[in-house]
């Protein structure tokens, strides 16, 4: 079957569909009868009837504006020539879109436009994709009676400052589409129309170059522009794309749908897909523009091997690389035992690729030492939501936020980390929904254009559970519970236990005020706002999970939602914002060491028998090692080999020195990745992986939406990633063969109840599907737990507040917390290889002015940061976004060493690292830290070794590897 969608330009119906869609209205347009929902515009109704009305300022992505005067029509019984974009349909209306008078009016309008427009169509970057050109043709423009010599804007200089697009005001027709896109779609309000009348012009911020303005480069304005005024630089350079493939973005957990537009196999641009159910035609700077890494010169396209990590890499063919990897793993198992090796799946890879890796570990390796990078981000979500509600997933779709009355954002920074969903959330907030932000830092949502948090509970890092308990205590204390919901939907005995616990004075806002730093009165006010919301929706991120009490906090969030009846319908819910594109999917696919695909525990004999029958092997019923356990065991000399699918522990995992020691202690590290990343510096076999543009498969986003990933270009190393794993498995004695990833999905569907109705044919038909997708819900499930919780009755788990060991002391008086910026992505392996470096060229250490002053630190100066784990040096950014006593940094550059200082503290239930709280001291310094010096030396050495030599003929020697300490 083919997964390729060859599609032409998106159809644009001119104005958005009315929301909500209510009664139908019938009317006649150019003699054609058409029935549409009431509140539909005449322009849209005409388009739906197949009648094209000329337009310039109207687009389906934006509210009607009525400025260009091209879409004029005649309506029986109405005077004049109303604009069809701003005129709503009425029953029995008779509309004419063509008449001699309308033609004359439209030609006159176009004549005026063109009198102030360069006539360089043949050399213009929009040639072939210009609505102005199309309209000139449509209205039959043949002359411009005014001439071209009058006052005009043709000599306006271009602004090339933005990395990904150009702004050429000489071509602007001031239709305001860009300005409206920035407001309505993105919600940044970076663009405006300055001046009046003829002097009107589009400007960024206070007439600044785009790169220096508030613009966040989401590209909405570029997509909206009907001319060449705002244009992708790639199109300026290469011309118009000739084909498009619908696929899914591989950055964050929003999972935007995109049209990958190409010339041959050259990807020219990624355009957000209007039909994408997660993003509705919107995008962010990363998904829209930061795809250059896929063809970056650093891509490794040949398998590499070496005996020891102080040797140069040798280029080898696939057969040899697979053979060497398999032999080394077998050698280790023979020498140290079956359980001395394991594998790690990647949240960046497809469901199908992840599935085969965990299957490989459980079958070919014969153990359960498989884990995934969700371990270090959302594993507490899996544990907490499974325990409380019965399913390890968010409860809503993204659109649900548009029905929320009160939105509580806890430990998440959507405008930076989930920007497309943040835009939707901001739209709802502008409509009047209330906002509670629980965060140690003043994230942008606290005070954004036309958005202001009603309450910012600025807690101390590490006191989430104190705050959630105090919120729940207030609900109980002030009688704000939803008794009917609790009685009908929740287990009563655990509820009574929880109620007694949470009602204790130790959980009151007053008692916890000192620990959390949140004033009790403010906390009570926030609790009342949420509990009385009508629809209260909670959105949370890694600021909830990456704590020693991450799982407790997830349970606390679920308790609060259940106690107030905010589950099981649109507009409410508990919504984890997933960090990576396929965190949800990687977890769904059985990547955790204690469970099979579909979150079923290994100890469930019936489930195990099902997998044993299908896979033809006996399976171990006991849990294996989690990632941190693997590293601890490696240091103890008991874990010797690891197959790593697309994860970069050496940069992303906490306590870098510990990770280095663990990786160095292993005899065979196999890295499958795009680049020789930090972890590959410790690897013995490198298997080149595929970017998302080179693969067929599926990703599952934060709303459980399974979306298709379609191959846009051939795998650069000539091998699909799932096939690499299959070949390795086969070489190790457990044959795995699939002809296409759709067959892997068929197997997943066969073995996993929540996926039983899934197939690639269904994805092609529906575009995307939210699981559960099975007999009961053949087209998927928008809202979870509607009539009953997946576990039956909701479970209230008591959530005692246990302060973290990472507390400020005389030696380490400050608390460091970490996060991301919009333009970069996690370890930066991809975004650092794009123009994103123009936005964020280094990680900085945010520090409150009071803390900076007492230490003699000024903005931009070098600061040493030391914890009990290690020391690094960063440049200071002095800002009151952080409160006194709190430091903040991003972790996108390896040399920053953010994880040199994070510790081995972790969540009690899941071992998810406590990235978000590290007790540190900070002080002025003049040179890099010892670790950074070591890092530079080591990186330089590895850089030299990365100039691979061609393999000698014959088989590589298989001596036990000696590793460098």
Partner 1 sequence: MTVAVEKLVRMAEQITANMAYTDDLGVVAAKVADHLNRFWDPRMRQALVDCARGVAEPLSPALSMALSRLHDIDQPHPA
Does the protein bind partner 1 through residue 400 (CB under 8 A)? no
Q: Does the N-terminal peptide bond of residue 385 adopt cis geometry, omega within 30 degrees of 0?
A: no
Does the protein bind partner 1 through residue 593 (CB under 8 A)? yes
The encoded tokens of residue 924 equal: 């002025």
User: Angle, nearest 10°, between helix axes 351-363 and 605-615?
Assistant: 90
Query: Considering only residues 156, 243, 594, 875, which one is a binding residue for partner 1 as defined by CB under 8 A?
Result: 594
Q: How far apart are CA 332 and CA 338, in angstroms?
A: 8
Backbone angles phi, psi at 512, to 5 degrees: -95, 0
Choose between 405 and 655: whose C-beta lies nearer to partner 1. 655
Name which of residues 229 to 288 contact partner 1 (CB under 8 A). Answer: none
Does the protein bind partner 1 through residue 919 (CB under 8 A)? no
The encoded tokens of residue 223 equal: 């997509």
End-to-end CA distance of the chain: 50
Contacts of residue 334, defined as CB under 8 A and 6 or more positions apart, other chains included, come to none
Query: Please, what is the minimum distance in Å from the beta carbon of residue 343 to partner 1?
Result: 15
Backbone angles phi, psi at 295, to 5 degrees: -115, 20
Relative to beta strand 871-878, strand 844-847 is parallel
> Segment contacting partner 1 (CB under 8 A): 24-32, 35-43, 258-266, 908-916?
908-916
Buried b (16+ CB within 10 A) or exposed e, 374-411: bbbbbbbbbbbbbbbbbbbbbbbbbbbbebbbbbbbbb
Query: Please, what is the minimum distance in Å from the beta carbon of residue 600 to partner 1?
Result: 12
Query: Please, what is the minimum distance in Å from the beta carbon of residue 659 to partner 1?
Result: 15
Q: How far apart are CA 356 and CA 362, in angstroms?
A: 10
Query: Please, what is the minimum distance in Å from the beta carbon of residue 61 to partner 1?
Result: 47
Three-state DSSP at 847 gives: strand
Choose between 214 and 632: whose C-beta lies nearer to partner 1. 632
Query: Please, what is the minimum distance in Å from the beta carbon of residue 814 to partner 1?
Result: 23
Query: Considering only residues 279, 413, 768, 911, which one is a binding residue for partner 1 as defined by CB under 8 A?
Result: 911
Binding-residue total with partner 1 (CB under 8 A): 32
Does the protein bind partner 1 through residue 550 (CB under 8 A)? no
Choose between 501 and 539: whose C-beta lies nearer to partner 1. 501
Choose between 369 and 580: whose C-beta lies nearer to partner 1. 369
DSSP count for the chain of H helices, then E strands = 30, 37
Does the protein bind partner 1 through residue 548 (CB under 8 A)? yes
Name which of residues 776 to 805 contact partner 1 (CB under 8 A). Answer: 798-800, 802
> How would you write 111-126 as a 3-class SS string?
HHHHCCCCCCHHHCCC
> Segment contacting partner 1 (CB under 8 A): 148-156, 267-275, 628-636, 724-732?
628-636
Q: Are 955 and 320 in contact (CB under 8 A)?
A: yes
Query: Please, what is the minimum distance in Å from the beta carbon of residue 601 to partner 1?
Result: 7
Does the protein bind partner 1 through residue 18 (CB under 8 A)? no
User: Angle, nearest 10°, between helix axes 464-477 and 492-502?
Assistant: 100
Query: Please, what is the minimum distance in Å from the beta carbon of residue 547 to partner 1?
Result: 12
Choose between 552 and 677: whose C-beta lies nearer to partner 1. 552
Q: How far apart are CA 546 and CA 550, in angstroms?
A: 6
Sign of the dihedral through C-alpha 415, 822, 701, 249: positive
Choose between 504 and 514: whose C-beta lies nearer to partner 1. 504
Query: Considering only residues 133, 347, 372, 549, which one is a binding residue for partner 1 as defined by CB under 8 A?
Result: 549
Choose between 371 and 482: whose C-beta lies nearer to partner 1. 371
Closest CA to 462 of 922, 921, 907: 907
Query: Considering only residues 573, 624, 641, 697, which one is a binding residue for partner 1 as defined by CB under 8 A?
Result: 624
Query: Considering only residues 213, 906, 918, 942, which one is a binding residue for partner 1 as defined by CB under 8 A?
Result: 906
Query: Considering only residues 603, 765, 809, 943, which one is a binding residue for partner 1 as defined by CB under 8 A?
Result: 603
Does the protein bind partner 1 through residue 908 (CB under 8 A)? yes
Binding mask 369-398 for partner 1 (x = CB under 8 A): x-----------------------------
Query: Considering only residues 213, 581, 629, 942, which one is a binding residue for partner 1 as defined by CB under 8 A?
Result: 629
Q: Does the N-terminal peptide bond of residue 20 adopt cis geometry, omega within 30 degrees of 0?
A: yes
* Beta partners for residue 407, in sequence order: 435, 537
Choose between 107 and 594: whose C-beta lies nearer to partner 1. 594
CB neighbour class for 123 (10 Å; exposed up to 12, middle 13-18, buried from 19) = exposed
* Beta partners for residue 232, in sequence order: 165
Where are any strands of DSSP class E within 648-797? 668-673, 685-688, 697-700, 705-709, 769-770
Choose between 496 and 955: whose C-beta lies nearer to partner 1. 496
Q: Are 912 and 654 in contact (CB under 8 A)?
A: no
Q: How far apart are CA 435 and CA 713, in angstroms?
A: 43
Query: Considering only residues 101, 338, 601, 927, which one is a binding residue for partner 1 as defined by CB under 8 A?
Result: 601
Contacts of residue 606, defined as CB under 8 A and 6 or more positions apart, other chains included, come to none
Does the protein bind partner 1 through residue 552 (CB under 8 A)? yes
Does the protein bind partner 1 through residue 501 (CB under 8 A)? yes
Query: Please, what is the minimum distance in Å from the beta carbon of residue 622 to partner 1?
Result: 5
Q: Are 199 and 174 in contact (CB under 8 A)?
A: no
Does the protein bind partner 1 through residue 632 (CB under 8 A)? yes
Closest CA to 96 of 37, 51, 41, 50: 51
Closest CA to 249 of 771, 806, 830, 844: 830
Query: Please, what is the minimum distance in Å from the beta carbon of residue 624 to partner 1?
Result: 6
Does the protein bind partner 1 through residue 764 (CB under 8 A)? no
Contacts of residue 287, defined as CB under 8 A and 6 or more positions apart, other chains included, come to 249, 251, 256, 258, 270, 272, 420
Query: Please, what is the minimum distance in Å from the beta carbon of residue 931 to partner 1?
Result: 22
The encoded tokens of residue 504 equal: 């204790």
Choose between 184 and 655: whose C-beta lies nearer to partner 1. 655
Choose between 175 and 909: whose C-beta lies nearer to partner 1. 909
Does the protein bind partner 1 through residue 464 (CB under 8 A)? no
Contacts of residue 931, defined as CB under 8 A and 6 or more positions apart, other chains included, come to 656, 657, 870, 871, 872, 897, 900
Does the protein bind partner 1 through residue 605 (CB under 8 A)? no
CB neighbour class for 92 (10 Å; exposed up to 12, middle 13-18, buried from 19) = exposed
Query: Please, what is the minimum distance in Å from the beta carbon of residue 390 to partner 1?
Result: 16
> Segment contacting partner 1 (CB under 8 A): 152-160, 283-291, 510-518, 616-624?
616-624
Binding mask 845-884 for partner 1 (x = CB under 8 A): ----------------------------------------
DSSP state of 216: -
Query: Considering only residues 66, 623, 885, 924, which one is a binding residue for partner 1 as defined by CB under 8 A?
Result: 623
Query: Please, what is the minimum distance in Å from the beta carbon of residue 470 to partner 1?
Result: 16
Does the protein bind partner 1 through residue 510 (CB under 8 A)? no
Does the protein bind partner 1 through residue 551 (CB under 8 A)? yes
Does the protein bind partner 1 through residue 896 (CB under 8 A)? no
Query: Please, what is the minimum distance in Å from the beta carbon of residue 346 to partner 1?
Result: 22
Choose between 115 and 497: whose C-beta lies nearer to partner 1. 497
Query: Please, what is the minimum distance in Å from the beta carbon of residue 440 to partner 1?
Result: 22
Choose between 68 and 377: whose C-beta lies nearer to partner 1. 377
Does the protein bind partner 1 through residue 909 (CB under 8 A)? yes
| Residue bearing tokens 């296409």 | 740
> How would you write 444-474 as a 3-class SS string?
HHHEECCEECCEEECCCCCCHHHHHHHHHHH
Binding site for partner 1 (CB under 8 A): 339, 368-369, 497, 501, 548-549, 551-552, 593-594, 601, 603, 622-625, 629, 632-633, 636, 638, 798-800, 802, 904, 906, 908-911
């Amino acid at each position: 079957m083919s997964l390729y969608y060859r599609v032409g330009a998106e159809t644009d119906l001119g104005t958005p569909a009315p929301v909500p869609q209510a009664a139908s209205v019938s009317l006649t347009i150019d003699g054609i009868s058409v029935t549409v929902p009431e509140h539909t515009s005449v322009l849209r109704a005409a388009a739906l009837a197949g009648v094209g009305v000329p337009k310039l300022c109207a687009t389906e992505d934006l509210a009607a504006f009525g400025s260009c005067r091209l879409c004029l029509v005649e309506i029986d019984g109405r005077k004049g020539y109303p604009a069809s974009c701003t005129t709503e349909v009425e029953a029995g209306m008779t509309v004419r879109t063509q008449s001699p008078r309308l033609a004359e009016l439209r030609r006159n309008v176009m004549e005026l436009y063109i009198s102030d427009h360069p006539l360089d169509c043949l050399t213009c970057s929009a040639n072939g994709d210009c609505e102005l050109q199309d309209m000139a043709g449509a209205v039959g423009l043949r002359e411009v009676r005014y001439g071209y010599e009058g006052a005009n804007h043709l000599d306006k200089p271009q602004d090339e400052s933005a990395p990904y697009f150009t702004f050429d005001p000489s071509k602007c027709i001031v239709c305001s589409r860009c300005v409206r896109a920035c407001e309505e779609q993105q919600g940044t309000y970076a663009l405006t129309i300055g001046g009046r009348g003829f002097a009107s012009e589009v400007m960024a911020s206070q007439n600044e170059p785009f790169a220096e303005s508030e613009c966040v480069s989401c590209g909405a304005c570029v997509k909206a522009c009907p001319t060449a005024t705002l244009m992708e630089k790639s199109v300026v350079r290469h011309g118009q794309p000739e084909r498009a493939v619908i696929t899914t973005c591989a950055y964050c957990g929003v999972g935007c749908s995109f049209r990958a537009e190409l010339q041959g196999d050259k990807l020219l641009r990624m355009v957000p897909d209007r039909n994408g159910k997660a993003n509705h035609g919107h995008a962010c700077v990363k998904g829209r523009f930061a795809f250059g890494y896929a063809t970056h010169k650093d891509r490794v396209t040949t398998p590499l091997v070496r005996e020891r990590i102080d040797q140069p890499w040798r280029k080898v063919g696939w057969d040899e690389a697979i053979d060497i990897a398999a032999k080394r793993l077998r050698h280790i198992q023979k020498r140290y035992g079956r359980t001395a090796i394991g594998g790690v799946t990647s949240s960046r890879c497809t469901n199908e690729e992840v599935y085969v890796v965990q299957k490989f570990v459980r079958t070919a390796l014969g153990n359960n030492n498989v884990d995934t990078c969700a371990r270090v981000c959302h594993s507490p979500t899996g544990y907490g939501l499974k325990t409380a509600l019965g399913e390890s997933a968010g409860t809503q779709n993204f659109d649900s936020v548009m029905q929320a009355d009160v939105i509580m954002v806890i430990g998440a920074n959507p405008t930076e980390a989930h920007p497309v969903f943040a835009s939707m959330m901001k739209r709802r907030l502008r409509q009047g929904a209330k906002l509670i932000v629980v965060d140690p830092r003043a994230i942008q949502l606290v005070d954004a254009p036309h958005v202001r948090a009603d309450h910012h509970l600025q807690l101390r890092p590490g006191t989430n559970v104190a705050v959630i308990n105090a919120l729940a205590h207030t609900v109980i204390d002030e009688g704000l519970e939803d008794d009917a919901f609790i009685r009908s939907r929740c287990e009563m005995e655990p509820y009574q236990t929880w109620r007694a616990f949470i009602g204790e004075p130790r959980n009151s806002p007053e008692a916890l005020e000192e620990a959390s730093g949140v004033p009790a009165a403010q906390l009570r006010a926030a609790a009342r706002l949420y509990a009385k919301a009508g629809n209260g929706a909670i959105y949370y991120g890694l600021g909830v999970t990456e704590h020693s009490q991450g799982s407790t906090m997830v349970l606390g969030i679920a308790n609060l939602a259940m106690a107030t009846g905010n589950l099981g319908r649109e507009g409410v819910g508990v919504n984890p914002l997933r960090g990576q594109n396929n965190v949800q999917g990687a977890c769904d696919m059985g990547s955790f060491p204690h469970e099979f695909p579909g979150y079923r525990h290994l100890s469930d004999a019936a489930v195990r028998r099902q997998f044993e029958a299908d896979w033809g092997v006996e399976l171990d019923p006991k849990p294996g090692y989690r990632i941190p356990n693997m590293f601890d065991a490696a240091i103890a000399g008991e874990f010797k080999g690891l197959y790593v699918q697309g994860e970069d522990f050496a940069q992303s995992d906490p306590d870098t020195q510990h990770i280095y020691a663990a990786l160095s202690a292993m005899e065979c590290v196999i890295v499958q990745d795009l680049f020789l990343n930090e972890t590959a510096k410790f690897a013995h076999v490198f298997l080149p992986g595929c970017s998302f543009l080179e693969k067929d498969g599926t990703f599952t986003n934060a709303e459980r939406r399974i979306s298709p990933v379609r191959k846009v270009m051939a795998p650069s190393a000539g091998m699909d990633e799932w096939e690499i794993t299959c070949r390795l498995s086969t070489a190790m004695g457990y044959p795995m063969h699939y002809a296409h990833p759709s067959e892997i999905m068929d197997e997943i569907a066969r073995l996993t109840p929540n996926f039983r109705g899934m197939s690639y044919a269904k994805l092609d038909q529906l575009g995307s599907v939210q699981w559960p997708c099975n007999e009961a819900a053949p087209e998927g499930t928008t809202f979870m737990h509607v009539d009953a919780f997946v576990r039956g009755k909701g479970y209230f788990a008591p959530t005692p507040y246990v302060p973290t060991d990472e507390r400020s002391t005389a030696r380490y008086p400050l608390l460091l917390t970490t996060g991301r910026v919009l333009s970069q992505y996690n370890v930066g392996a991809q975004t650092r290889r794009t123009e994103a470096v123009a936005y964020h060229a280094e990680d900085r250490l945010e520090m409150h002015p009071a803390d900076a002053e007492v230490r003699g630190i000024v903005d931009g100066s070098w600061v040493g940061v030391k914890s009990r784990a290690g020391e690094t040096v960063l440049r200071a950014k002095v800002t009151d976004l952080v409160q006194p006593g709190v430091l903040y940094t991003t972790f996108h550059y390896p040399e920053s060493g953010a994880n040199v200082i994070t510790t081995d503290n972790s969540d009690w239930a899941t071992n998810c690292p406590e990235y978000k709280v590290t007790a540190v001291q900070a002080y002025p310094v003049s040179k890099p830290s010892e670790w950074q010096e070591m890092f530079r030396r080591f990186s330089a050495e590895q850089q030299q070794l990365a100039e691979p030599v061609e393999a000698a003929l014959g088989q590589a020697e298989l001596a036990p590897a000696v590793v460098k300490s």
